[in-house]
Amino acid sequence: MDDSNKLSRAEIIEKLDRMALLPAITFIFSRIGCDAAVKQCLQAGLRLTNAEERKEILETANRYTQNLAQEDLEILGHSEWLAALERGIAAHHAGLLPSFKSAVEDLFQRGLVKAVFATETLALGINMPAKTVVLEKLVKYNGEAHVPITPGEFTQLTGRAGRRGIDIEGNAVIQWSPSIDSSTAAGLASTRTYPLRSSFSPTYNMAVNLISRFGRERARGSLESSFAQFQADRAVVGLVKQQKRNQIAIDELLDQAGCHLGNFTEYASFRRGIKELEGFLSKRGGKKTFDNKQRIHMESEIDGLRKAMKNHPCHSCNDREAHARFAERSDRLIRENEGLNNRVMNRTHVIAKTFDKICHVLTLLGYIEGEKLLPQGHILSKIYAESDLLLTESIRRELLVELNPAELVSVASAMIFESRSQEDLSPKIPNDSVAQVLASITRVWAELEELELEVGVKTQRSPDFGFCYMIFRWANGSSLNQVLKGSDMSVGDFVRSTKQLVDLLGQIANASPDLNKKCRQAVKLIDRGVVTYLLGDI
């Protein structure tokens, strides 16, 4: 079977319109796919609005974009966006300018935009209920591979169907494809209970703030009560039950392996020792991983075990091999229980253990001493970024003090930015001053990574230089068009990353009196144009 009978996106919207099933949200798991869907609908001549609705759409769109410069509107693709909007069609994804997304949300809620092509981010925390939800596929790319959506994700997406106080019911449409199995779709739709998974883990900033407020021991106790620890403890219950079942079976097997002539467990240990040593010799023999002296020693051990086995009272038992089979089965279960016990130990108090490791790192670096925060710990308590410790160490070592405001912006971006792909392995750096500081920060990160590795914890991701040059140009007054030219970064990503950077600079200013003035100057350089525009201005 092929896709030749598959309806186009425009045809699906037209059919939903004829069946009075609009407004609809079509979930497409890629930004490019959403934008392409809008273009396809325009090329097909699809129009879902009348003259009065088009007038209202234009007025609303103008309110949301009135504070944007004309040159910015051009690079934002404003005319194409507006042309689709007038027809009642729009895309919605994280790559769009926030004001564009807000206009779409407003118009959709009012029933003026009737077909939205969106990524799954729309299903999270945005009030955009529809009469119908369409799913193009039941698989999505998770950053590493294409994987099936979960029942929980299916419910989250299709839960947008049905407007409270308007629709009696909502409609979920799964687009036909040869790759979609009807039983899989039915399974997704019928599952109604989903386990919650906690992603909570202590951080350095969290640790110093908890210690400052409650003291170390009380802070540790509060973390033990977290949902993440509760989940880990629940998993342990199943492991412990399996251990108990295994132990019952072990006791029964050892009873059946009992011999009236002597201690068969001891006899079985001789047999097992011989088997393991012989296996070791046969595996390693051809690789010459040990010298002749070691080989002679092992062969001597085997001879000793053989002699002890033959002299053992159980060796002459007529039921010896039957007893041995029971003993071997008990040995396997004993080894399984040892593995289960290791898993139990690793999961028990896992959150508190992570907290202890983080506190150990902080103690080694001089941030805390017992129950007390040291001066550097107070600086860390004001840095909430993911790279909290790396940034605080950079402040502590005075790596940022010689930078001018634009250079500070560039360097700070390495702490918050995450490239969408790993293709650009050598991003452009603005100048030598920035390059030298970034090199120093990278060395600090390597030191922290090594220390974390020794302690057994990993929290600090490597600095990402992918935004350094772009934001440096923006800080030096370049236009949005100049900054984004030649880049695959969307305007939405640029605005979001810059706003994160504004927030980070505020944290640094609050944490370091020496950098306060420079950080505030840096914020003024980048908090402008499309970045400054707030929805409250409309």
Digit-coded pLDDT (tens) for 282-299? 765 445 556 677 778 888
More confident of the two residues 407 and 315: 407
Contact 472, 409 (CB under 8 A): yes
Please indicate whether residue 198 or residue 255 has the higher confidence score (pLDDT). 255
Q: Which of the 8 DSSP states describes residue 368?
A: E
Distance set, CA 536 to CA 60, 65, 96, 525, 529 (Å)? 14, 12, 18, 21, 15
pLDDT of residue 183: 64
- CATH 3.40.50.300 placement within the chain: 9-190
Backbone angles phi, psi at 96, to 5 degrees: -85, 155
Per-chain mean pLDDT for the chain: 84
Amino acid at 493: D
Q: Is the pLDDT of residue 421 over 70?
A: no
pLDDT given at position 182? 64
Q: Cα–Cα distance between 113 and 107 in angstroms, integer?
A: 5
Greatest Cα pair distance, the chain, in angstroms, is 103
Q: Which of 51-65, 223-237, 446-460 is predicted with the least confidence, judged by mean pLDDT?
A: 223-237
Over residues 323-336, mean pLDDT: 82
Q: What is the pLDDT of residue 535?
A: 45
Tokens of 120: 């799954």
Average pLDDT over residues 16-43: 92
pTM for the structure as a whole? 0.69
Q: What string of H, E and C letters represents the secondary structure of 382-405? A: CCCCCCHHHHHHHHHCCCCCCCCH
| In the chain, ranges of CATH 1.10.3380.30 domains | 382-537
**Mean pLDDT in residue range 57-73:** 89
Spatial distance between the Cα atoms of 169 and 86, rounded to a whole number of angstroms: 28
State the Cα torsion 96-56-115-13 to the nearest 10°. -140
| Band of pLDDT at residue 98, cut at 50, 70 and 90 | confident
Residue 383's Cβ-side half-sphere holds a number of Cα atoms within 13 Å equal to 27
Mean pLDDT, rounded, for 56-70: 90
How confident is residue 332, by pLDDT bands cut at 50, 70 and 90?
Answer: confident
More confident residue, 336 or 24: 24
Residue 340: partners with Cβ closer than 8 Å, 6 or more residues away: 239, 242, 243, 246
Helix (H, G, I), strand (E, B) or coil at 510: helix
Q: Higher-confidence residue: 322 or 200?
A: 322
Flag the least confident range among 121-130, 249-258, 301-310, 433-442. Answer: 121-130
Round to whole Å and give the CA distance between 374 and 405: 29
**Mean pLDDT along residues 77-82:** 92
pLDDT at 67 over 60: yes
- CB 384 within 8 Å of CB 469: no
pLDDT digits 0-9 by tens, 135-192: 888 777 666 677 777 777 777 787 777 777 787 888 888 887 766 666 666 666 655 5
Residue among 67, 61, 63 nearest 81 (CA)? 61
Q: What is the CATH number of domain 382-537?
A: 1.10.3380.30
8 Å CB contact between 470 and 487:
yes
467-492 average pLDDT score: 92
Instruction: Supply the pLDDT for residue 414.
Output: 96
Of 154-163, 411-420, 457-466, the range with the lowest mean pLDDT is 154-163
Tell me the mean pLDDT in the region 518-532. 94
Structure tokens at 247: 């132990």
Asked if residues 500 and 415 have their Cβ atoms less than 8 Å apart, the reply is no
A 10 A CB-CB count for 514 gives 10
Question: For the structural domain made of 9-190, what CATH number should be given?
Answer: 3.40.50.300
User: What does DSSP say about strands 146-148 and 132-135: parallel, antiparallel, or unpaired?
Assistant: unpaired
Distance in angstroms (rounded) separating the CA atoms of residues 479 and 43: 32
pLDDT given for residue 502 in this prediction: 96
User: Rounded distance, CA 371 to CA 74, Å?
Assistant: 57
Cis peptide before 202 (omega within 30 of 0): no
Degrees, nearest 5: CA angle 173-492-130: 25
Distance CA 314, CA 299 (A): 24
Question: Which stretch of 70-79, 128-137, 332-341 has the lowest confidence by average pLDDT?
Answer: 332-341
**pLDDT average, residue stretch 42-49:** 94
Distance of CA 508 to the CA centre of its chain: 25
DSSP structure class, residue 96: S
State the average pLDDT over residues 33-62.
Answer: 94
What value does the mean pLDDT take over residues 35-45? 94
Q: How many CA atoms lie within 13 A of 100 on its CB side?
A: 28
Question: What tokens appear for 260 in the block?
Answer: 């009236």
537 vs 440 pLDDT, higher one = 440
Starting at the earlier edge strand, list the strands of the sheet with 132-135: 89-92, 115-118, 24-27, 132-135, 171-174
